[in-house]
Structure 1
Amino acid sequence: MPRPRFPLGATLLVVLGTVAGANADSRAPTYSLHTRLAPGTVDRVQTKVEVGGDLTVVEDSKVKRLKMSVVANLGYHERFLLASAGADGPLRSIRHYDQASAAIKIEDGGFQPVLSENRRLIGAQVDGAEAGLFSPRGPLTREELDLIDVQGSSLMLGRLLPDGPVAVGATWKHSEAVLAALLRLDEVGKADVQSTLASVKDGAALIEMSGKAEGAVNGVSTEIELKAKYQFHLKAGRITWLGLLIKENRSIGHVGTGLDVVARLQTTITPGAEAEQLSDTAIAGLPISPTPELMQLVHRSPDGKWEFAYDRRWFITAESADGLALRMVDRGELVAQCNVAAVGKAEPGKLVSLESFQKDIQRALGKNFGQFVKAAQRSNEAGYRVFRVEAQGEVEQLPILWIYHLVGHVDGRRVSFAFTMEGELFDRFALSDDEMVGALRFLDSEMAGQSPAAARQTPTATSQSASNPLR
């Protein structure tokens, strides 16, 4: 069974707000809880996450509950690059992580994802309800992204605050649109989360937050209940501490396990820090906005002999020594699935013909095969020979389109890709197969022992451009 995917971002919560009304005594003093944040400001951020509960999976047509726990520690400096004054305007920062690790236990097993050394520089951005992380130095792995893409992003904490002055006892609600970005959900359909100014003492405002939110992620529903406190430093004009207690109940989905968990998160922020790794000299020439290539993820085969980059809409659902299975989810709908596998090495100079490849496909499809639509052979920019074959057929009277690729190295190494989708979804699938197959790179022997990130720094390892329970 592949590792169940359990996102830190699925269980940790911070929310945005707009003033819903001040219900405090109008004669009481009011306080302006407005973030004062200028580009170039550097913070020190430390976050600890503890999660416990159950994962739910389907085995042999039955739902099974698996005990799990997570302890994660994240530490980084964050330099703000763009801070919009509007409630929904863009935000942008760049971070350097000196600590990013987790210990994940599932039943009697477990693993410990880490962020590789040459992916410690991370760009963060928020634009409306969309939020994302990327590395200016190259694509992340899914495990690396899941490790650091937690809810309660420090970049967005200022939007927890009310729009105008409030008195002790005043309350304000938080918008569904921004909740979706901070919860790392595709959408929030219903929420009653609100904050209350509980007290002001010794130059600090203590705010309490509570409520429920219902939403969806990757096409499945989730319910979240939270209680939280956060502290606003009046002189600094910044939130400096956040504590969250969250309960989440998430359904089993196309690409992830179900969740029935309780999470605790504590974040401490120290404004006015310094970080040489984020100086003008250190980040000069690096992209501070994500490119399509940087927003891709990368997967390395277990034996370290090949890797490929892929769109974030693809999720790894199973992996073995021989290959892996992925599913594409777009706007909550399952669009396609893909199987990737290393094929037996051919004798150099004696690779199979396109016709033989088509015969193998027809045999594999058996009675489901209808007809071939296209068949082509080419050499790609990496110098590999690529077969691409489209076939139509039916499975249980449902029209199906299969797209097969066979990629061969001149030395005889080969990797196959098999994409499957309902015929009516082909337009949404578009050229996803060509993008994934085009990003495949066979790794030289001296690179096979390196991490994916390390190998990607070597030009011959990749071109332009696993299932992890953290995200």
Structure 2
Amino acid sequence: MRNRLTCARCGALLPILLLLASAGLAHGQSRYALQEVFRPNDQYRVESRVRLNGRLSVPIDPNQPAKLVDMTGESKISYDERLLSPDPKTNGERSVRIYRQMEFTRKVADRPQSLNLRDAVRRVVLIRRDQTEVSFSPDGPLTWGEMDLIRTDVFTPALVGIAPPRPMAVGESWQVRETAIRELTDLETIEQGSVEATLVEITQWNQRSIARLSIKGTVKGVSEDGPTRHQIEGTLYFDLQSNHLAYLSIVGAQELLDEKGMVAGRIEGRFTLTRTLSNQLSGLDDASVQRISLEPNAENTKMLVDQSDMGFRLTHPRHWRIGTQRNQQITLDDPAGNGMLITIEPLARTPGALQYQVESKQQLAKFQAKILNETRPIRLDSANSIGETFRIDSEMSGQSVTMVYFVLRGSVVGMTIAARVQSKEPAAIVAEIEQIARSVTLMTPTAR
């Protein structure tokens, strides 16, 4: 589930902000600039809430057609954010956040799901250019689930597209730009429709001038869920003294469309966002920010695979991805076709390195591989487990293939790794694979 209006960005009005709708001011034909300027070092406290419900077409049984099932969900996100100067490499917008809360729960049919951001990585740096976003924690590796939570949260600078192109008078309307629509809906492309914003009134709240805007429209396009239609309607409050978006409330509906354009599922939801400008937020002062790495590198962009239920954790470079998971095996693959098969077993059933080498050669023979070279097992230096590694160079179907193998042992479980290297520069890939193997921590499996 997404945290945007792809089923998610919709929330309840905050009672204190309802007071803003009272007693509009005399405004005549005055025009108001509603454009927020994002300045480096500005700090905001941000909170968002999502509630949603609906029906989705879900494949419950792989051997049966998909069925419509009920779905409910909720997310709670709050963080302090400091805007930074643009990223020196991409010129993308950049900020550092300290999350106070990031929780997501969902129930599809009778299957509950939950996800949150671990305390160890609540400090996060985000870099955004167009629709490309890079996020990392300077304090440790993120999991793919955590990174997806961060990715699907609203990137507030992108909402500048709601603002009009020129100062507006009360009652005037304009078209919301596609950048903001994509941010609210998570559509990758917009094929038809539009969203309109209107300056409804200028009012006073807590001795501050506030512009109230309405937002309404329907758009159709394509998201990672496939063809989708969004209907959104909401209210935005813009602080005219500090020139910032202070509050946004959206009621929305997402219709998932099948190949014939018919509705295959519908999700309704409410999303609220509040932002408070403040320049004295704990942990975001100059001294604190100067102590952390604000640029992505090979170390701080590593990903964490936490399979505590199977008895292991490991880290890997971000361009590697988790492939399949079946029983006690998972695969890791990179875009160049290199891959790793990881098998976790009870310690008593974990083979020794010499036995594993014999088994591996027998497996290669089944694929009619011609063995060109092999090394004897040697010790793998690792602070987290006891391990050995060996290598077999072979030729299969006229192609050179290097296989790198590992046997790792913990106190309760063991692990074998069979890695396939097809790169024209195998040394660099082998080094990455060895780094992944050294990162493995074996432990007693936790209860599911």
> TM-score, normalised to structure 1's length?
0.70
User: CA separation of 1:273/1:260 partners in 2, compared to 1, >3 Å: closer, same or farther?
Assistant: farther
Separation (CA, whole Å) in 1 of partners of 2:372 and 2:181:
45
User: CA separation of 1:358/1:439 partners in 2, compared to 1, >3 Å: closer, same or farther?
Assistant: same
- Mapping of 1:354-393 within 5 angstroms? 354-363=357-366, 369=367, 371=369, 382=382, 384-387=387-390
- Mapping of 1:291-440 within 5 angstroms? 291-301=297-307, 302-311=309-318, 314-315=321-322, 318=325, 320=327, 322-324=328-330, 339-343=341-345, 345=347, 350-352=353-355, 354-363=357-366, 369=367, 371=369, 382=382, 384-387=387-390, 405-409=404-408, 413-417=414-418, 435=432, 438-440=435-437
C-alpha deviations, 1:302-323, integer Å up to 9, x for none?
2433423253673566464x23
Separation (CA, whole Å) in 1 of partners of 2:271 and 2:138:
27
Separation (CA, whole Å) in 2 of partners of 1:177 and 1:198:
20
Separation (CA, whole Å) in 1 of partners of 2:56 and 2:390:
40
Amino acid in structure 2 at the alignment position of 1:304 = G
SS at match of 1:352: helix
Match of 2:2 in 1: 7
User: CA separation of 1:316/1:108 partners in 2, compared to 1, >3 Å: closer, same or farther?
Assistant: farther
Alignment length (residue pairs): 403
Aligned 8 A contact 2:3 2:9 in 1: no
- When structure 1 is superposed on structure 2, of 406-415 and 430-439 the one drifting more is 430-439
Separation (CA, whole Å) in 1 of partners of 2:106 and 2:50:
11
Match of 1:211 in 2: 218
- When structure 1 is superposed on structure 2, of 290-299 and 335-344 the one drifting more is 335-344
- When structure 1 is superposed on structure 2, of 272-281 and 45-54 the one drifting more is 272-281
Query: Does the alignment pair 1:129 with 2:124?
Result: no
Amino acid in structure 1 at the alignment position of 2:138 = P
User: CA separation of 1:372/1:126 partners in 2, compared to 1, >3 Å: closer, same or farther?
Assistant: farther
Aligned 8 A contact 2:380 2:388 in 1: yes
Aligned 8 A contact 1:188 1:216 in 2: yes
Amino acid in structure 2 at the alignment position of 1:7 = R
User: CA separation of 1:385/1:159 partners in 2, compared to 1, >3 Å: closer, same or farther?
Assistant: farther
Amino acid in structure 1 at the alignment position of 2:54 = G
Separation (CA, whole Å) in 1 of partners of 2:296 and 2:106:
29
Aligned 8 A contact 2:171 2:201 in 1: no
Separation (CA, whole Å) in 2 of partners of 1:96 and 1:279:
12
Amino acid in structure 2 at the alignment position of 1:439 = I
- Mapping of 1:153-164 within 5 angstroms? 153-164=155-166
C-alpha deviations, 1:163-195, integer Å up to 9, x for none?
32123343333444565466545x314253333
Aligned 8 A contact 2:414 2:442 in 1: no
The alpha carbon displacement at 1:357 in A equals: 0.6
The alpha carbon displacement at 1:391 in A equals: 8.2
Separation (CA, whole Å) in 1 of partners of 2:136 and 2:176:
27
User: CA separation of 1:327/1:408 partners in 2, compared to 1, >3 Å: closer, same or farther?
Assistant: closer
Greater C-alpha radius of gyration: 2
Aligned 8 A contact 2:310 2:344 in 1: no
- Point out where structure 1 has 5 or more consecutive residues left out of the alignment: 1-5, 15-26, 253-257, 364-368, 451-465, 467-471
Query: Does the alignment pair 1:45 with 2:46?
Result: yes
User: CA separation of 1:438/1:225 partners in 2, compared to 1, >3 Å: closer, same or farther?
Assistant: farther
Query: Does the alignment pair 1:232 with 2:203?
Result: no
Match of 1:60 in 2: 63
Separation (CA, whole Å) in 2 of partners of 1:379 and 1:122:
37
The alpha carbon displacement at 1:198 in A equals: 3.1
Query: Does the alignment pair 1:198 with 2:212?
Result: no
Separation (CA, whole Å) in 2 of partners of 1:221 and 1:392:
44
Which of 288, 298, 321 is the matching residue for 2:294?
288
Aligned 8 A contact 2:159 2:183 in 1: no
How well do the aligned residues superpose, as a CA RMSD in angstroms?
A: 4.3
The alpha carbon displacement at 1:267 in A equals: 0.7
The alpha carbon displacement at 1:126 in A equals: 1.3
Aligned 8 A contact 1:152 1:183 in 2: no
The alpha carbon displacement at 1:325 in A equals: 5.3
Separation (CA, whole Å) in 2 of partners of 1:439 and 1:291:
16
Separation (CA, whole Å) in 2 of partners of 1:142 and 1:189:
27
> TM-score, normalised to structure 2's length?
0.73
Separation (CA, whole Å) in 1 of partners of 2:181 and 2:156:
14
Aligned 8 A contact 1:89 1:128 in 2: no
The alpha carbon displacement at 1:30 in A equals: 1.9
User: CA separation of 1:393/1:215 partners in 2, compared to 1, >3 Å: closer, same or farther?
Assistant: farther
User: CA separation of 1:349/1:129 partners in 2, compared to 1, >3 Å: closer, same or farther?
Assistant: closer
Query: Does the alignment pair 1:244 with 2:228?
Result: no
C-alpha deviations, 1:108-128, integer Å up to 9, x for none?
231332211111111122112
Amino acid in structure 1 at the alignment position of 2:314 = E
SS at match of 1:95: strand
C-alpha deviations, 1:390-429, integer Å up to 9, x for none?
88989xxxx9999865322377932335779xx9xx89xx
Query: Does the alignment pair 1:144 with 2:164?
Result: no
Match of 1:80 in 2: 83
User: CA separation of 1:97/1:370 partners in 2, compared to 1, >3 Å: closer, same or farther?
Assistant: same
Separation (CA, whole Å) in 1 of partners of 2:249 and 2:190:
25
The alpha carbon displacement at 1:28 in A equals: 3.5
User: CA separation of 1:126/1:271 partners in 2, compared to 1, >3 Å: closer, same or farther?
Assistant: same
